[in-house]
Structure 1
Amino acid sequence: MSTATASLDIEQAQHLGMKLLGDSTGALIGALMVVGDRLGLFDALAAAGPLTSDGLATSAGINERYAREWLSAMACHGYVAYDDATQTFSLTPEQAFCLVNRDSPLYLASVFGVLPDYYRNLDLLTDAFRHGGGVPQERFGPEWGCGFQRFSRTWFVNYLCSDWIPAMPDIDARLRAGGSMADLGCGNGLALIQAARCYPEARLVGFDLHAPAIEAARANAAAAGVGDRIRFEVLDAAAGIPGAYDLITCFDVVHDMPFPRRALPQVHAALAPGGSFFVLEFNLSGELQANIDHPFGLGAWGYGASVNYCMTTALAVGGEGTGTCMGEAPFRELAAQAGFSEVRRLDFPNNPLNLIFEAKA
């Protein structure tokens, strides 16, 4: 028996083995979640349940055999409830809150929509591991963007106007009186659409580096009836931001910027006197040990998202590759280098997954 085998703690090895199996189960369930989201299966179950597999197949217009296997997997994983006596499936109030209610702060069904592009890009990512560079932004399609935007929309619906902006009373007052707000990295425009509803007098503009996102934002704003109140433009913030704004926001964007050390001085220059730079990031740290010890286990998710998207897209254009796990200290350093004299962390007990800052010129 080798020394390594003699010192093996079999219980720890078994625990690790079960964790590996559990993680592989999660990967398989993730694929089924994408299918379920595309086909509206949770919505159908919520609307008409309890249902048998035949009932779901009829309600959703899918094949019964696939409905049965999908429902069985979801029941085993705890995402749907199963009644053995009637052989029917349903959603508990808690499951519906997380999987169906689009306005719930815990609506997370859409986050699985990022997975197809992650897996499609594995060959490019593997090549980047070998040779450097990264996976270009263009390799991430509408489903990726829509999945993440639907997830982040819940932040805006639940917190933007009730908690976040009111935590800056002077900015809240300015927007109510017709002040200006610019959202950098606006994506599909959902934050500004919510702001338009809450601040009907405010002047709103969204900037994003990617033309398809701007096209989607314009369409979303028009569909929401606020298309005439928000201007969307393709812009590289690192090259300059036209205008002067009472509020500039970055929602989960600073760590994605290819060149944040170039972009943040431009933000500083584009603030109106007394204006604020509002930054939302995931509640992660620049220190590995802190992320290992993260109370929600968010560290592995953060590094995984970073490698698959946030870091690699920045490195693909020769950027800094800040990564998802930027954390508070690195952001404060970036802000100071950009000329911000004050950075205030805003704490919201009902929003523990995010770090939120207000920076003043």
Structure 2
Amino acid sequence: MTETKRGELKKQFRGMARAAQVLGTAYIGVVNGLFTALQSLGKADAASLAAAAGMDPAYVRRWCDAAYAFDLLEAAGDSFWLSQTGAAMIPGAPATLMPAAAQAVLNMHMAERAAELMRTGERPGERVLAERKTLLPWFGPMLEANFARFFEDVICPAVPVFAEVNQRGGLAVDLGCGNGWYLRALARRCGGLRGLGIDGFDENISQATRLAAQEGLGERLRFVAGDAHQFTLDEPADLIAMNRALHHVWEAGGATFIARLRDNLRPGGAAAIWEPDWPADRATLRQPAFQGIAFQNLTEHVQGNHLLRADEIGEAFSAQGLTPEIFRFGDGQEAIIVARKPG
């Protein structure tokens, strides 16, 4: 490597490190409600902002300086107010940038865990998501901000099974429902269906129940704590959905789990599985759009999982007597596998 090339790489990686600092500073402001509080105040000094957000004044004063340094805040004298970038970090803002900050911190947490666990081979499972107290409450909102509009506006109209379930007023079950964003998005588009969400984290169930009630969907949507590996429904479902979660149960026995899906569907019902589509050709991972999937697959290993090919999922459904159809979106990164049970 030439000295010039080495210098270019150093500059590039310093820029990446600075970007991580920006996102880390933004994350602190998001999870502690500092951007939201400052939006309400308009302008405030650090002490007033700390009081409004219920935070320690000394921490907030230093955060304000860091946020100003990275153009997240504007300042004059002792007063601070939101820059355009800072305003875009507010979770409820249109096209909010919050997911980028939350994902960056989650990535660093998972990278640190992978670095440690690679030495022993341990794979502690999904509990690693709850190891950082500030991360788990933002996991669902991060996914919602990233995917809900895409699901509602692009996927739903293109995949006929959602309209079919809506037309007959059927039951849609979401396994691994998180904060319930998938069922809420589906219910907004499909006024005739009922929904049941199941998740293993109590924090997610509380969020999902509260958010459904806020949107006036509490009578149609219900959320309960449960183990997706061992679920049994009191009422056979017209649709069982899994949003980017099938790979979480696959290594424990994919064929057994798909048989459980089949047995909990009513005749003519369907499973709708949304998964990142792991490419068959490793060279695809060099494409910028797929690089994140490669990193995700590394961090999924920490959780006891690995990403799947859509064709592999379809073949597994066929082996259990269901008829699969694959819909691909996002330049091939995302796949919806709809597998129908014979009527």
Q: What is the TM-score of this pair, normalised by structure 1?
A: 0.74
- Confirm or deny that 1:270 pairs with 2:275: no
Per the alignment, do residues 101 and 237 of structure 1 end up closer, same or farther by CA in structure 2, a change over 3 Å counting? closer
Could you tell me whether the CA contact under 8 Å between 2:314 and 2:339 is conserved in 1? Answer: no
- Three-state SS of the structure 2 residue aligned to 1:232 is strand
- Three-state SS of the structure 1 residue aligned to 2:241 is strand
Give the aligned partner of residue 204 of structure 1: 195
CA RMSD of aligned residues (A): 3.7
Q: What is the 5 A alignment of 1:77-88?
A: 80=72
| Structure-2 separation of matches of 1:288 and 1:22 | 28
Structure 1 residue runs without a partner (length 5+) = 1-7, 315-320
Output one character per residue of 1:96-121: Cα deviation in whole Å (capped at 9) or x when no partner: 4x5236263x4331453366666667
Q: CA deviation at 1:302?
A: 3.0
| Structure-2 separation of matches of 1:181 and 1:291 | 34
| Structure-1 separation of matches of 2:332 and 2:39 | 27
Could you tell me whether the CA contact under 8 Å between 2:170 and 2:194 is conserved in 1? Answer: yes
Residue among 13, 18, 21 paired with 1:20? 13
What amino acid is the match of 1:182? V
- Confirm or deny that 1:112 pairs with 2:101: yes
| Structure-1 separation of matches of 2:122 and 2:315 | 25
Q: What is the 5 A alignment of 1:293-304?
A: 293-294=287-288, 296=289, 298-299=290-291, 301-304=292-295
Residue among 119, 124, 127 paired with 1:138? 127
Q: What is the 5 A alignment of 1:190-201?
A: 190-201=181-192
Give the aligned partner of residue 169 of structure 2: 178
Per the alignment, do residues 212 and 15 of structure 1 end up closer, same or farther by CA in structure 2, a change over 3 Å counting? same
Q: What is the 5 A alignment of 1:275-314?
A: 275-282=269-276, 285-294=279-288, 296=289, 298-299=290-291, 301-308=292-299, 310-314=300-304
What amino acid is the match of 1:264? I
Q: CA deviation at 1:359?
A: 1.6
Per the alignment, do residues 247 and 40 of structure 1 end up closer, same or farther by CA in structure 2, a change over 3 Å counting? same
| Structure-2 separation of matches of 1:210 and 1:39 | 21
- Confirm or deny that 1:245 pairs with 2:224: no
Output one character per residue of 1:263-309: Cα deviation in whole Å (capped at 9) or x when no partner: 23322333333333323234653543211123x4x41x33333433x
Count of residue correspondences: 329
| Structure-2 separation of matches of 1:42 and 1:48 | 10
Output one character per residue of 1:210-250: Cα deviation in whole Å (capped at 9) or x when no partner: 45433443344345443343233344444454343222211
Deviates more, 1:110-119 or 1:225-234: 110-119
Per the alignment, do residues 328 and 107 of structure 1 end up closer, same or farther by CA in structure 2, a change over 3 Å counting? farther
| Structure-1 separation of matches of 2:220 and 2:81 | 44
What amino acid is the match of 1:147? W
Per the alignment, do residues 143 and 177 of structure 1 end up closer, same or farther by CA in structure 2, a change over 3 Å counting? farther
Give the aligned partner of residue 341 of structure 1: 323
Give the aligned partner of residue 34 of structure 2: 41
- Three-state SS of the structure 2 residue aligned to 1:267 is helix
What amino acid is the match of 1:179? G
- Three-state SS of the structure 2 residue aligned to 1:166 is helix
| Structure-1 separation of matches of 2:36 and 2:186 | 28
Per the alignment, do residues 283 and 109 of structure 1 end up closer, same or farther by CA in structure 2, a change over 3 Å counting? farther
- Confirm or deny that 1:355 pairs with 2:334: yes
- Three-state SS of the structure 1 residue aligned to 2:306 is coil
What amino acid is the match of 2:117? A
Q: CA deviation at 1:72?
A: 3.0
Per the alignment, do residues 178 and 273 of structure 1 end up closer, same or farther by CA in structure 2, a change over 3 Å counting? same
Output one character per residue of 1:180-200: Cα deviation in whole Å (capped at 9) or x when no partner: 101111112222233344434
